[in-house]
Homo-oligomer: A and B are copies of this chain.
Amino acid sequence: MAEDAPGFELPLLLFAGFRSIADQLHAELARQGHPDIRPAHGFAMQAIGRDGTTASELGRRLGVSKQAAGKTADRLAALGYAARVDDPADARRKLIRLTPRGYDVLARSAAVFDELRAAWAERLGEDRLRQLEADLKTMAPPSGFRLDVAGWFGA
């Protein structure tokens, strides 16, 4: 009878799958006029959303401190993907809003993700892919995703 795979392979495969999709996404985004977008930026812009948010709230959504979230917002602003504007209703707050260029990345990302999923479906079959998604949902619901990846990995 066949041996079980060694346990260490499973996380490697999961990570390789994630990284494969992320790399293809960013290669395609680079081709479509967004060469300087990094995975961290995509997560942050997704968390900012169409309505914008504040640094404190962004930090809560991303699972990092408000200072870290503020720095990320500054970088996105420097790259032209976000802007920080005063909140007329609350002089403490500064809203982080996506620029048209930021919305463009979000829209293109959604499209590319759908294409990549379709590629998986074609290769594996829609049934197998659905089962894979369902199994992952069973084992690791991506509830309130924490995206402090860089810090999580190394610090």
Which of A's residues lie within 8 Å of B, judged by CB? 2, 4-22, 25, 38-40, 109-110, 112-118, 120-121, 123-124, 126, 128-133, 135-142, 145-146, 149-150, 152-155
Contact = CB atoms under 8 A, between A and B. Distances in A.
Given A124-B138, A142-B16, A117 B7 contact: yes
How many copies the complex holds: the figure is 2
B149 A117 contact: no
Given A7-B118, A8-B113, 12 more contacts: A4-B117, A5-B130, A7-B117, A9-B133, A10-B21, A13-B136, A15-B18, A38-B154, A123-B138, A124-B135, A128-B131, A131-B131
Contacts of A6: 110, 113-114, 117
